[in-house]
Amino acid sequence: MGVIELRISELSRRSGTSIATIKYYIREGLIPPGERVNARVSNHNDATVDRLRLITGLIHVVGLSMSQVRQVLDIIDEAELRPAEAMTRATVDLPLSGRGPLGASHKDPPNQTSHSFDQALAAVGFEDIPDAEYVRQTKAAMALAERCGVGIQPDHLLEYASAARKAAQADFAQLPLDAPRRAVQAAVLGTAIYEPVLLGLRRLAHRELARQLNARLAQHYTREEEGPDHGR
């Protein structure tokens, strides 16, 4: 891929990122400053444009904070990392749903409650539970569900675990293991970017089932209104 001369205004136009934001990313070390030609022009390659688009997507589409974006980029840029290690790092470093309230870490539930969740997860096969933010967020959500009277039941959790394993198998099956650097990028970005896709598909499936349920209920109520003698 050849190096091309780009004014920062052209870099902004191609990436859809403001000039002020590009300068900020350069100061923060998220993108390279490029080779200075004069006061207004630097040499950049197409990878800089792609990097800017990636950063913008991680922030505005996935909802990551700047610190989380830096973590993603650091994993991608680590030369010796293997795909499985990269995916593991990404799952540990990133929470389940973007930045969360003011980027705050989720507190662990009380010990007794947390232990009961460990047992519930072990019952569906997840016995090696790491000390990670996404685990704390999972337990916090389970605790909230119980407090709201909609605690997840064992058979429901088992269905979720089965679906999660199938989704994870699909993710690993897509890794281009014959190209290690591409595989690392796919592992990390897939972890960060595919979760909103997975959640969106779940909501589409909810919509389908809700429409089917509404249709069945409408038929039921119609039959009740018409009475048992209707059609005789």
Partners of 42 in the beta sheet?
6, 36
Mean pLDDT of 53-74: 88
pLDDT given for residue 104 in this prediction: 47
Contacts of 75 (CB under 8 A, 6+ apart): 81, 86, 89, 90, 93, 184, 188
Structure tokens at 50: 């792609």
Residue type, 214: N
Mean pLDDT of the chain: 83
7's enclosing H/E stretch is strand 3-7
pLDDT, tens digit, for every residue of 7-53? 777 888 888 899 899 889 989 989 887 666 665 656 667 778 888 99
Banded model confidence at residue 196, pLDDT cuts 50, 70, 90: confident
Chain centre distance of CA 146 = 25
In angstroms, the CA 47 to CA 31 distance is: 10
Q: Tell me: the pLDDT tens digits for 109-131?
A: 566 678 899 999 999 999 999 88
pTM: 0.74
Q: Which residue has the higher pLDDT, 205 or 84?
A: 205
For 41-110, the DSSP string reads: EEEEEHHHHHHHHHHHHIIIII---HHHHHHHHHHHH-TT--HHHHHHHHHHHS-SSTT-GGGPPPPPPP
- Residue 101: pLDDT band with limits 50, 70, 90: very low
Q: Is the pLDDT of residue 1 over 50?
A: no
